[in-house]
Every structure is written in C-alpha cells, then in structure tokens.
Chain A
C-alpha cells in the first residue's frame, strides 16, 4: 500500500495518542476526567487543575496484545509529574507488574511528554518518580517496557531517567531526551555552557536523531501514527531486541574514557566515539588518592562508618568500601567532591556521568558476588548537591548514567540486598533519585544542613515564572515544596529522622547512634521481607495524610483495573 499522507502523532493530544495506538474498540480509560482525581495541591497555589492531572491511563490491545498505555499530556503544566499524575503512572505500572506476576502478560507503553517533576508539587514528584523507576525495573524482568518520545516537550528531569530505565526508546526527530532542560543548564552553568535559545544546539545535543546515533535511543521514526505502531510492535514481537542500556556498564564506562571533557565536543564526534566504544572495552582505573579528600559530610561519614575497611572505588568521587555491621556485611557507597574530577561540572560532589556509572558498577559487582550467598547490605551515604549541569553531561547522556545507578540500586533491592540510605547532608533532585531514592529504608539526620528538593530556588523560580518571593510563599503552603528535612518527613517516606547527631563533625557517640540505626534498618528490611518501595505508602505518616492522594489513586485504579 502506498501511503502519501502521514497522520502526525506529535500533534495529537495525550489522550488521542493513547486512543490511536490501541486496536479499535479496545480503549478503556482508567481514572478518566469524570473520576474526579485532580491534583489537590494546585488550587491553593492559584493554578487551575486538570481533571485527569495530565496523565492518561488506558488499557486495551495493540495487535491483540494486552497493553497499558500511559500517556502524558505535555500541554498541561509542561507534563510535570505531581502527586496524582505520578501515582497514576506508578500505580498503573504496579498493576501491570501484578498481572505479569500472575501470568497475565501486560506490556506497558509509555508516551513521554514531560519536563520532569512538577515543581509546584516538588517532592511528591520526586517520590513518585522513584516509585515509577522501581516498578519499571521490576517489570522489565517480565515484559519489555517501551518508551516513546514523540516530541513537543520530550522527556526531561527525573522522567529522562525513567526513560533510561525502559527496555527500548523510540523517538522522532522532534523528540528530545535529556536530564537538565536547556533553561536550567543556562541558569546553573551560564550561557557560555549552554544557550537555551539556540535550537540547533538543543536538538543537536539531545534530539531524537542524535540520541539514536549516539547510543541513547533505539529507533528513530517518522512522526506518523502507523510508524509508532510499527516500531512498538517490532519490539513487542522481538523483531528488534535492544540491549538494556543500564546493564551495559562496561561499554558506557569505556565510552566515557574515550572523551576529553576539556575540549568542547561536537555531536558528530560523540557518534563516532560511541561506535568506537563497541570495540574498545577497557577500563582506565583511576586511583583513589588520600591527599585530595574533601571535608564534606559524605566523605566524613563514609570514613567514619567504614572504619578501617579498605577502599575499593575506581574514581575519587565515588567512595566504596566493604565493612560490617554486627554480623552483616555492608557495602558503603558515597558520592563526594573531587576537585580534580575529569568532568569540571562534577567537581563539587554532583552526580555526574562517571559517578552514575561507577555507582552502577560497584552495586552490580556486589549483586554478582553475593548471587549464591548472603546478600550484603548496601548503604548509600547521601550528601549530594545536585546532578551535574553541563553541555557534555547532556551530550554524553547523564540521564542514562543516572538511570544506571537507579537500576543498580533497584536491582539489588529486588535481589534481596537490604538497601539503606543514610542522609547526613543534601539529597537533591536527580542526584538523590540516582543515589539514595531506591533504598528500602531512608534514614536522615534532623539538621538544618539536610535538605531534600528538586531544583535550586533560582531555577525553580525561572521555570515556573514566579519571583523568588512568590516561590517562598508557595513553599509555606505545600510541604512537598519546602526544602527542609522536617517538611520531607511529613510525606512519610523516612524510616527515621535521627535527633542529636552532630552532622558535619561526627564523633564516636554519633557513630554509635548511626551504626545502630543502620543496623536496625537492615533488620527491619529482613523482617518484612518486602523488596519493593510500598513501605513508603504504608507508613503511619503516609497513611495519616502524608500521601493521601498517592494512596487514593492506587485504590481507585485497583477498583477499575479489571
């Protein structure tokens, strides 16, 4: 058949995209516009909510295969993930997982059109994205989880990490995939680093064409409904079997080692080096130097907790050591500042390209070593100011590096390793998602220097087009928008918030408290035996209001699912 006219997929609304993908007459929308589940957090901030909170969940079939389509409406609040929209996505994936576990193969298809966390609901979005990631990693063991990034907005922020976790990524030329949006990089790193008005630069760095050529997406398709269906079907039918990116740690590390970050690289060069990395699998090992240690909380606590255990990390910014808590083997991992970091944008303790892949490497190593024996605990020591913001970071796929770390932590958790996050410092945004958020238990210190949030106030004000004063005022109304750890506690995700510990210069007494606390968290994980993140929704604080909408959405979704 000759087709002359194309039917654009990009131009469709989120709901149209879902409807057009599914076989005729099989579309069943769950939690639709008349079910009354809108965001409870927007109206108090003077923002008009949307009846479906910008996410469309539809069950149906595609070529008679049972699928669930999760489609994000980019025109509502930039496709931002809030509490309700996030719970719709996570809940649908969790239901699909249940089906798969019961032998009913249900394939999730995610239509991305999102800037990431909805800044007006900040930490709710962060928690949701961690839950979405957890479900994807678990689902991938049963079915392919397929991402489509058609374009208009693309997939940014935490949701680019989500895309990086999927089995396959399908993009059009118009689609974009990157961790930090152009405006945010410009705000954080300056216009010389990235000019957010330069469209050629933007698409050259993170557009569909470049992403497919440089190893960050699988299929580049025309903007055409039939092309989307064909591409999705080819993956469902295993005509195309993409390698799982997050598991190819060696390849991506080799790729990064081919790069000289001090020279501004062209997108074309990156494509070449990606090809080269296929044959040059060799890891350059850097030494962990004792002399250039930072005095930050991450480093201090790492040294305190590991005691005299030898360091086994491969780069100075990711410290790794195996030690013991009681009879339990523990692997500590901390991301710390390294003033000589090869990548200048990751010198202040940010989670950057090398850091993401290095975390992944050291966790996967432990999973493999413990495959048949006692699963050691993995303890993330979290003091991370942010992810790294820069041109090279985006060009070389920092979202994928973050996804690799997320995947490794989630995989360890699913394999039965107790994964604990200990937060003595900042736990921010993509850095926290990558290093800490996938833990079974979160332990934080009650201290003014412990903050959890999704974006610096300056950037958040710029993106939401508010003044700093307006932003501060909104923060007072919505605890999820606040930066302090006590507000974060109100969301019910913490295992414990520890009082009376000296956070920046801990002594023996502080060590004893935290050593015991981590030990208890490990014990708690072993007791309940759950390997998912459901504990964050069943905690007393979550149940008594901290996560009301997240819980309600899942309940309603369960009612409507079958």
Chain B
C-alpha cells in the first residue's frame, strides 16, 4: 500500500535536442513526459509510476525508443497506467515537439 515505483535509466547519447517539451497528462491510461536538452552526452530517464511490477516492460519500451533515437536529453515521466503503446507514442510526440521550431 502507498507505494510508488521509481525507475531510472541512463544511456550514452550524442545528438542534442532543440528545446524542452512537455506532453501528456497524469490521467487514466496516460502519462506526462518532460523532455529537456542535456549538455552532457547522455540521456537520463526517470520514471514514476503507481503501477508497480512492470520494470521489464518499461525497460523494453525505453531501450527500444532510445536505441532508435540517439538524443541527449533529460526525460521525466509521470505515469498513470499508460500502456506500452501509449508510452511510445508520447515519447515520439515529445521528441517531435522538442525538435520542431
């Protein structure tokens, strides 16, 4: 009871993103992502979720995304039960926002 899971991943990265991006809502089946440019050559992803016990799934989704997108960023995720598909879509959306004008 009353337990949140905090998960952190870091990867080496090279490409800088243009600006910070905020997408999504901490609402049923959704999540909020904050993506900020990072000066060091790495990506740090911090996840907070109330749906505990799905570390493997998070790992798969996050690894896949940052394998495909080599970006140096600080990413914060506040999850409210998003499915892996929703997580991927939101990550892509955040990346799109942070790369566009």
Could you say which of B2, B25, B26, B27 contacts A49, with CB atoms under 8 Å apart? B26
Contacting B78 at CB < 8 Å: which of A51, A75, A474, A477? Answer: A51
Among the 9-residue stretches A38-46, A122-130, A175-183, A523-531, the one with 4 or more Cβ atoms under 8 Å from chain B is A38-46
- Scoring B residues 11 to 28 as 1 if CB is less than 8 Å from chain A, else 0, what string do you get? 000000000101001111
The CA-CA distance from A344 to B3 in the complex, in Å, is 44
Tell me the nearest residue of chain A to B50, going by C-beta. Answer: A48
- Are B48 and A48 within 8 A (Cβ)? yes
Q: Would you give the shortest CB distance from A479 to chain B, in whole angstroms?
A: 16
Which residues of chain B in 8-51 are interfacial with respect to chain A, using CB atoms and an 8 Å cutoff?
Answer: 20, 22, 25-28, 30, 32, 34, 36, 48-50
A32 to B26, CA, bound (A): 15
A466-489, CB under 8 A of B: which get 1 and which 0? 000010011001000000000000
B79 cross-chain contacts in A, Cβ below 8 A: 48
Q: Determine whether the beta carbon of A75 is less than 8 Å from that of B30.
A: yes
B20 lies within 8 A of A50 (CB): no
Give the distance to chain B from A396, nearest Cβ to Cβ, in Å: 33
A51 touches B25 (CB 8 A): no
A46 and B3 contact, CB distance less than 8 A:
yes
A44 to B3, alpha carbons, bound, how many Å? Answer: 8
Question: Is A47 part of the contact surface with B, judged by Cβ < 8 Å?
Answer: yes
* B1 contacts partner chain A, Cβ-Cβ < 8 Å: yes
Complex Cα gap A49–B34 (Å): 13
Min CB distance B21 to A, Å, is: 10
Which residue of chain B is the closest to A38 with respect to CB atoms?
B78
Q: Decide: B78 and A48 in contact? CB cutoff 8 A.
A: yes
Q: How far is the CB of B58 from chain A (nearest CB, A)?
A: 14
B25–A46 CB distance below 8 A:
no
Tell me the smallest distance from the CB of B12 to a CB of chain A, in Å. 24
In contact, B22 and A51 (Cβ under 8 angstroms): yes
Q: Give how many B residues have a beta carbon under 8 Å from the other chain's beta carbons.
A: 21
Would A45 and B2 count as touching, CB distance under 8 A?
Answer: yes
Task: Contact check, B22 vs A473: say whether CB atoms are below 8 A apart.
Answer: no
B89 within 8 A of A: no
Q: Contact at A48–B22, with CB atoms within 8 Å? A: no
Point out the residues of chain B lying under 8 angstroms from A33, CB to CB. 22, 32, 34
B66 at the interface (CB under 8 A from A): no
Instruction: Say whether A474 contacts B28, CB under 8 Å.
Output: no
Task: Kindly identify which residue among B1, B3, B78 contacts A50, using a CB–CB cutoff of 8 Å.
Answer: B78
**CB contact list, A21-60 vs B, under 8 A:** 32-34, 43-51
**CB pair B1 A75 closer than 8 Å:** no
Question: A43 to chain B: which residues have CB within 8 Å?
Answer: 4, 48
Chain A residues in 8 Å Cβ range of B27: 73, 75-76
B20 to chain A, nearest CB (A): 6
Instruction: Give every chain B residue within 8 A of A75 (Cβ-Cβ).
Output: 25-28, 30
Please measure, in the bound complex, the distance between the C-alpha atom of A164 and the C-alpha atom of B38, giving whole angstroms: 46
- Which residue of chain B lies nearest to A474 when distances are taken between CB atoms in the complex? B2
- Measured between alpha carbons, how far is A240 from B82 in the docked complex, in Å? 44
Q: Which residue of B lies closest to A467 (CB)?
A: B1
Distance between Cα atoms of A474 and B48 in the complex (Å): 20
The 9 closest A-B pairs by CB, nearest first: A75-B27, A46-B2, A50-B26, A33-B22, A75-B25, A48-B78, A76-B26, A48-B50, A48-B48
Provide 21 A-B residue pairs closer than 8 Å at the C-beta atoms, listed in order of the A residue.
Answer: A33-B22, A33-B32, A34-B22, A43-B48, A46-B1, A46-B2, A46-B3, A46-B4, A47-B50, A48-B4, A48-B48, A48-B50, A48-B80, A50-B78, A51-B34, A51-B76, A51-B78, A76-B26, A76-B27, A470-B1, A477-B2
Please give the residue numbers on chain B whose beta carbons come within 8 Å of chain A beta carbons, in ascending order. Answer: 1-4, 20, 22, 25-28, 30, 32, 34, 36, 48-50, 76, 78-80
Taking beta carbons and an 8 Å cutoff, which residues of A are in contact with B?
Answer: 13, 32-34, 43-51, 73, 75-77, 470, 473-474, 477
Q: A33-B34, A51-B32, A477-B2 are in contact. List 15 more A-B contacts (CB 8 A).
A: A13-B25, A33-B32, A34-B34, A43-B4, A43-B48, A46-B2, A46-B3, A46-B4, A47-B4, A48-B80, A50-B78, A73-B27, A75-B28, A76-B27, A473-B1
